[in-house]
Structure 1
């Protein structure tokens, strides 16, 4: 049994990108394990629903060689989560993309994410 963002936010933030990008399970099944069917991610103001996020995963599976997440802060309260973390992706052609993320989320009763708002900043070595 997998924990949910509501029961282990830090574990979710670290485990989810790896399971989604490199795992053996179907990406849709991984997505549904941690998010409600009506989940919407608003990333820097751009809304992404389940279908758009899964389309993004197909590209990530082709292009990413490694993903690492470092969680700096994580907070879970009844019905809400917040986190500040850094995600680094190493692409197959060697490019390194590092993103600082501040995330605020709303949980469903079962602990899965229903909604998330993220603010991001590119802190890649080439962007510095």
Structure 2
């Protein structure tokens, strides 16, 4: 996720990329190809959500994934914004990791993604 100023706020990589390659991927925001990757983005309010995928991946499916991630964060935070992510980075990473494992989408149920977080909050 990237804010309007182009600052990365949340990033997860499933293949090794050096810092220069990561920065190049994160600064692109469109359906573009970069080396052996495609960058798919979607803007929600003041945040840009970017996903880098290989050339065989379906761009529209990635847009749906981004939308699901935003809906899940909206449900938890109530209209998610940059500050929600900055102050609750561990929860944002947790949601992402519940949805994606080793680069593969494994969970699409918002309730299943959020229930462990809600249990942790009740325990605190």
- Output the TM-score relative to the length of structure 2: 0.31
**Larger RCO of the pair (alpha carbons < 8 Å, separation 6+):** 1
- Output the TM-score relative to the length of structure 1: 0.30
Would you tell me which structure has more helix in proportion to its own residues?
Answer: 2
